[in-house]
Amino acid sequence: MVQVKRLADKVAVVTGASSGIGKAIALRFGEEGARVVVAARRYELCQTVAAQIREGGGEAWAQRVDVTDEEQVEALIDQAVAQYGKLDILVNNAGIAGGGHIAKTSTAAFDRVLNTNLRGTFFCCRAGIRHMIRHGGGTIINMSSVAGVDAWAGTGTYSASKHGIMGLTKALADEARAHQIRVCAICPGGVADELVDASPEEIDQSGKISPFDIAETAIYLATLGPHAIVHRIIVDRLGAEW
């Protein structure tokens, strides 16, 4: 039986695709037939992910980008469109943890997290939506967090950045719908990857979600029918209290 590739003919850019959730999304998008731009700062890791997609019969190329630099973000989107002629799916996944209890959080730590998670997502959304408006459609998926809909002691900085992403997502979704563009957010709980491992005090290590569950969620959002939108989707750990 011929397997239908759900993202055939789609062009996708995934930021933060050198590891973790973004890598899982890039790999699964490639398997589903999308032409994938694998973007992050660690270019060699992006190249490895792109090579993995090509070895599986897909099409991908690696692009170095620092999402805190608006010129690099503009260049990322321009080059993707120049290479493949369009941009159908943009996954703004690049992000970092950081902060801790607010009384002990330095201004530098706060700025670092906000610059990457919120300002970086803003740069990517702005560059992506401009191309999608010209092209007449597309899907933008912003990687938020359960910390984008709730907050706990010790997560103030990160949570503020992810709540900011939720506001950005909601406003952009409203601006974009007249152009047949969907803008949505995924809000994962604790996912088994490097970010979790970097913050052992803040995030429970047990019963983690697979990054491939988040990748499936991204495919679901990107393959909804033309008249449907899911504004946000929370993918929590089965063992989490809610």
Positions touching ligand NDP (CB under 6 A) are: 15-22, 40-42, 45, 65-68, 93-96, 116, 120, 143, 145, 188, 190-191, 193-196, 203
Active-site residue among 43, 84, 158, 220?
158
> In whole angstroms, how close is the CB of 206 to ligand NDP at the nearest point?
12
Is the Cβ of residue 67 or residue 176 nearer to ligand NDP in the bound state?
67
> In whole angstroms, how close is the CB of 89 to ligand NDP at the nearest point?
16
> In whole angstroms, how close is the CB of 187 to ligand NDP at the nearest point?
7
What are the DSSP calls for 54-103, one per residue? HHTT-EEEEEE--TT-HHHHHHHHHHHHHHHS---EEEE--------SGG
Non-local CB neighbours of 197 within 8 Å, separated by 6+ positions: none
Burial 175-191 (b: 16+ CB within 10 A, else e): ebeeeebbbbbbbbbbb
Helix (H) or strand (E) holding 129: helix 120-135
> In whole angstroms, how close is the CB of 34 to ligand NDP at the nearest point?
18
Length, in residues, of the chain: 242
Is the Cβ of residue 11 or residue 91 nearer to ligand NDP in the bound state?
91
Non-local CB neighbours of 171 within 8 Å, separated by 6+ positions: none
Q: To the nearest 10°, the Cα dihedral for 205, 29, 42, 181? A: -100
Asked if 43 is an active-site residue, the reply is no
CA distance 24 to 216: 9
Residues involved in catalysis: 158
